[in-house]
Amino acid sequence: MLGVEAYEKSEHEKELLRLLAKGDREIELDEGCDLDTVLTEADTLLATES
């Protein structure tokens, strides 16, 4: 059995991993966003973790 907080943390971590994998694919295809956009999105995701 998994507590609600542990589940939410796990889901949040999965989302971060999905975004990292997406970024890797975009780099390979020479696509993607600029660094400022990526950092803003990361800050937003990390802020929701708190």
Q: What is the pLDDT of residues 18-50, one digit of tens each?
A: 988 988 898 889 887 788 888 898 888 888 765
The whole-number pLDDT of residue 28 equals 87
Work out how many domains the chain is built from and give that number: 1
Give φ, ψ of 2 to 5 degrees.
-120, 130
DSSP reduced 3-state for 13: helix
Count of CB atoms within 10 A of residue 44's CB? Answer: 9
Which pTM was predicted?
Answer: 0.58
- Tell me which residue range forms the domain holding 40: 4-49
